[in-house]
Every structure is written in C-alpha cells, then in structure tokens.
Amino acid sequence: MDENTRLLTKIATLYYKNELTQAQVAKRLGLSRQSVGRSLKRAQESGIVEIKIHSPLSLSAELESQVEKAFHLREVIVVQPPPTPKNPSKKRLAPREQRFSNVAYRTATSSASPGAARSCSARCIWGKWGPAR
C-alpha cells in the first residue's frame, strides 16, 4: 500500500468510523481542515470510501432533487402514501403517477412566508410539466 492510500484510509477511518470532525482529524494528523476535506473527496473518488444510503425513501429523495433542479425550486417533498384498500383513487392513476401521488414544493422566489408550501398531486404536476402526449 502506498503512502497516499494509507493516509486517505487513515483520514477516512478517523472521520467516518471514529466520528471525528474534519478539524479534529486535521489537528490530530497535523494537516489543514481543507486538506482533510479534499482527502475525503479523493478517498470517495478512488473507491476507498463508498457511501450507500439504505432507506426506502432514497428513491423519493432522488426524485425530489430532480424536480428541484428541473423547475428551479428551493425544496420539494415527495410523499408516497401507503397503498390501502381504502384508497381506490390510486388504482385510477397512470403507472407513471402511481409511485408518487402527492408532491409539495416551495419556490425559490416565492413571496409567501418562509416555510409556506404549495402542494399538488402527481397528476397535477405531470399535467403541467409532463411531456406532450
């Protein structure tokens, strides 16, 4: 193992496993905090560190990011209600709309008070911004 790989592994271990802050890692190893941050990024890029998110909500988070970016929104919250026999309207949704039947969003330039959100069904969102049929 070369010296660079050893150092990246040590920095990543102190930060991720031992839960030290970047400043604490820097002080312990005699480095700058910026150098530790760059090293953590290199550790990810080289495959020493791999970050996985194990959550049933990770697909929602990915969709939220895509909608925020596509429509220049500050925050989007995608809510997937649990399927229930008492929710027959879910059966009427097209397949592309079934995954997420409610979306709340905040606009970046909204004049509403902070934290105010607008909501719209996936059918509404898809109807306004979906591809032309």
**Domains, the chain:** 3-45 (1.10.10.60), 58-129 (no CATH)
**Cα–Cα distance measured from residue 100 to residue 2, given in angstroms and rounded to the nearest whole number:** 48
Average pLDDT over residues 43-58: 85
Confidence of residue 55 (pLDDT cuts 50, 70, 90): confident
Per-range mean pLDDT, top range of 51-55, 80-84, 111-115: 51-55
Q: What's the Cα-to-Cα distance from 113 to each of 67, 78, 108, rounded to whole Å?
A: 22, 21, 12
Give the model confidence (pLDDT) of 74-95 as tens digits: 888 877 666 666 655 545 555 5
| Residue carrying structure tokens 């990543």 | 12
More confident residue, 2 or 117: 2
**Cα–Cα distance measured from residue 122 to residue 103, given in angstroms and rounded to the nearest whole number:** 6
Confidence of residue 30 (pLDDT cuts 50, 70, 90): very high
Q: What is the pLDDT of residue 110?
A: 45
Structure tokens at 55: 């959550």
| Residue pair 12/49 in contact by the 8 Å Cβ criterion | yes
